[in-house]
Structure 1
Amino acid sequence: MTSKKSTQETLTLAFEILKRIPRHKKVTAPELHIQLQEIGINRSIRTIQRNLEMLSEHFDLNRDIRSKPYGYSWQKVNKGLSANYLTPQESLLLNLAEQYLKQILPTNTLRTLESYFDEARYNLEHNPANTKANNWRNKIRIVSEAVPMLAPKVSPEVLSLISEALYEDRLLTVEYYNAEHKTQKATVMPLGLAQQGVRLYLVCRFDGFDNERTLALHRIKKVVVSTFSFKRPQDFTLEKYDSDGRFGFGEGELCSIEFMITKKAGFHLLETPLSQDQTVEECEKHYKISATVIDSLQLERWIRGFGSDMTLLHKIRDSNVHSTA
């Protein structure tokens, strides 16, 4: 019985060492010693060194003996150990990536990672050693500032084809309906994919135009990926498109606003300002606030949302000034 337990512990140590040997850099026995201690495996550095020497004889490991401590890595032709040997930290990272990034990762990447996602989920849920990492998933959450809504249904095939075209920079032919329920067909350059709340949007340029538009993915009924590729416009970035307020139905034009707001309703604006140039004047029952912001439908809705708690003093739009964020 003792011999069997000793053999299991030896194998466990060997596997844990192999899991932590990288492919693109070297790791030393002292570094492995610290990593193993963090997961509750307490062995002497000499024991780890002996295991590394033994493993080097039976696995495709590089052993760098030019200086001490010796460095170990997988040979480049060897892929190392697979997803079956993920650490608790790797399992947690992959699980959170699956949960929060699944909609905006390239479809081909998702397919490649499926086995890793499955193994990560299994490691967290079925390995008692991963209890703390597993519990972390219930200790965090990304919350919405808006009223909770169910996500609109997006065709998996549509999402897959759009992701493919976006990844490969290929033209798309899309059939979609607009807010008036009119069906249209167009050839577009897919430039970006954005998630706003529960909705997914495709940012694109229509054939023959030099400006960008946004299409809601749940309104796209059919997609055909062209065999023709395109060169992405050098003057377009998704970050700039967002900072221009385009997802809030703006055109990147700035405006100066000044308003009075009750202290109860406006206190959060002292903690989270509207802009870098925001100024606040404290009155008896109100704050008088001025700021330069993106002019958009979203801004109008935001102002109306305060009701009688806010009084708009002025809003001046300068069409000659644009966001440079």
Structure 2
Amino acid sequence: MDTLDSKIISVLPNGDGNAEFLSTPDVHKKLEVIESDAPVVKTVQRRLEELQRLGFVEMKKRGAAWTWRKGAGAGGMAGKSGAIMTREEALALHMLRSFTSRQIPTLVAEALSDLFKVADKRLEMAVTEDERRYSRWAEKVAVEHSGFALRYPAIDPVTFATISQALFHERKLEIVYRPRSNVTNDKCKVILPLGLVEVGGLVYLIGGTEGRSNPTMYRLDRLARAAMMLESFSYPCSFKLDDYVKQQRQFDFMVEGEVMLKLRFLNGAGDHLLETPFAADQETRPTSAGLDAQGTVLLSQRLRWWLRSFGPYVEVMAPEKLRAELAEEAQALAALYRR
């Protein structure tokens, strides 16, 4: 597709609802305004017919005349790129949408929905065998996530959009939050939106409160209401979301400090650590029964959840306090199954 196609699409009315259609001569006149060397009407007619075949333009007969407007999904960014989108770009967009499993990318992708429609049309218009390979490629790639799949609560797209706008414009948010301990709460509170973080399928809003130094985490699916206020705030220069997440480890839940973790794995349960270490200073030693591993980690609830997932195939050798805690849990678990 050449530049002329993009210019033709740019002068056409959007394909929304009752939007008008333009005749070919009217399209030509609009082109003459933005193009000093506009092509003749017949050339414009041929390009419009081709764009209609590709799905980027809608055509409607008005008596003997043909009239035109943008096709659905050919506005905005899609309108600028649709006519010149290569099949490689269309395939990349198709794959991006197919393998976006996390909630934040999925919600953000709503803004690109028209672009995805254009990509789908581009792949559907395969004529040659080489072109059809692009369409078939998507059927040859799959992604499966490890672990037991939970159905996480959905987030209201309107709520997400409101929070995103407040975060972008640095405006205060008025929210009604209903934690598990108070699911009928109707009291409003005003917070300062500082960031969004997705952890294990759940999305959290990090919100500050005026007069308090430490921000609070709010699960987005527990927000009963969110309204962006007109009042802005100064984003605190002392707050860094990356530091909050990665260094303060707020999402490790109840962090208790660093420990030297020593583990003994059985029956190959820890072999994956040879390629995906749990600590930067991890050391491993093969044994007749499996694998011994040690490294410096943050003691937290998340670490405990990870250790429990191995069941009887891991033994905590150190620290002693964690070993005793998990041993007590194992005894309680065994008692349940003796009933």
Percent identity over paired residues: 25
After superposition, the Cα gap between the structure-2 partners of 1:58 and 1:270, relative to the gap in structure 1 and judged at 3 Å, is same
After superposition, the Cα gap between the structure-2 partners of 1:106 and 1:232, relative to the gap in structure 1 and judged at 3 Å, is farther
Query: Is 2:158 the counterpart of 1:154?
Result: no
- Larger CA deviation: 248-257 vs 294-303: 248-257
How far off is 1:267 after superposition? 0.5
Q: Is the 8 A contact 1:195 1:201 kept in 2?
A: yes
Tell me the equivalent position of 2:122.
123
How far off is 1:16 after superposition? 4.9
Which AA in structure 2 matches 1:119? V
After superposition, the Cα gap between the structure-2 partners of 1:82 and 1:311, relative to the gap in structure 1 and judged at 3 Å, is closer
Between the two proteins, the alignment pairs up a number of residues equal to 250
Query: Is 2:291 the counterpart of 1:278?
Result: no
Q: Distance in 1 between matches of 2:2 and 2:102?
A: 29
Tell me the equivalent position of 1:209.
212
Tell me the equivalent position of 1:176.
177
Query: Is 2:261 the counterpart of 1:262?
Result: no
Which AA in structure 1 matches 2:117? D
After superposition, the Cα gap between the structure-2 partners of 1:263 and 1:137, relative to the gap in structure 1 and judged at 3 Å, is same
Query: Is 2:193 the counterpart of 1:190?
Result: yes
The structure 2 residue matched to 1:240, chosen from 243, 260, 284, is 243
Gaps of 5+ in 1: 1-14, 21-54, 60-78, 318-325
Tell me the equivalent position of 1:93.
92
How far off is 1:115 after superposition? 2.4
How far off is 1:103 after superposition? 4.4
- Larger CA deviation: 202-211 vs 222-231: 202-211
Q: Distance in 2 between matches of 1:180 and 1:315?
A: 33
Q: Distance in 1 between matches of 2:88 and 2:171?
A: 37
Which AA in structure 1 matches 2:240? T
Q: Distance in 2 between matches of 1:196 and 1:137?
A: 28
Gaps of 5+ in 2: 7-34, 40-76, 322-339
Which AA in structure 2 matches 1:296? S
Which AA in structure 2 matches 1:104? I
Q: Is the 8 A contact 1:107 1:163 kept in 2?
A: no
Tell me the equivalent position of 1:137.
138
Q: Is the 8 A contact 1:243 1:252 kept in 2?
A: no
How far off is 1:316 after superposition? 7.7
The structure 2 residue matched to 1:229, chosen from 227, 232, 239, is 232
Query: Is 2:317 the counterpart of 1:313?
Result: yes
Query: Is 2:104 the counterpart of 1:104?
Result: yes
Tell me the equivalent position of 2:167.
166
In structure 2, the residue corresponding to 1:134 is in which secondary structure?
Answer: helix
- Larger CA deviation: 204-213 vs 268-277: 204-213
In structure 2, the residue corresponding to 1:158 is in which secondary structure?
Answer: helix
In structure 2, the residue corresponding to 1:291 is in which secondary structure?
Answer: strand
After superposition, the Cα gap between the structure-2 partners of 1:102 and 1:246, relative to the gap in structure 1 and judged at 3 Å, is closer
Q: Is the 8 A contact 2:5 2:83 kept in 1?
A: no
Task: Flag the structure with higher strand content.
Answer: 1
How far off is 1:102 after superposition? 8.5
How far off is 1:304 after superposition? 1.5
Deviations 1:107-162 (A, max 9, x none): 78844x33222211221234345433333333334432231122312222211111
Which AA in structure 2 matches 1:194? V
After superposition, the Cα gap between the structure-2 partners of 1:196 and 1:306, relative to the gap in structure 1 and judged at 3 Å, is same
In structure 2, the residue corresponding to 1:164 is in which secondary structure?
Answer: helix
In structure 1, the residue corresponding to 2:295 is in which secondary structure?
Answer: strand
Q: Distance in 1 between matches of 2:231 and 2:256?
A: 31
After superposition, the Cα gap between the structure-2 partners of 1:106 and 1:312, relative to the gap in structure 1 and judged at 3 Å, is closer
Which AA in structure 2 matches 1:173? E
Q: Is the 8 A contact 2:103 2:201 kept in 1?
A: no
- Alignment RMSD, CA only? 3.3
How far off is 1:292 after superposition? 1.0
TM-score, with length taken from structure 1 = 0.66
Q: Is the 8 A contact 1:173 1:188 kept in 2?
A: yes
After superposition, the Cα gap between the structure-2 partners of 1:200 and 1:303, relative to the gap in structure 1 and judged at 3 Å, is same
Q: Is the 8 A contact 2:268 2:291 kept in 1?
A: no
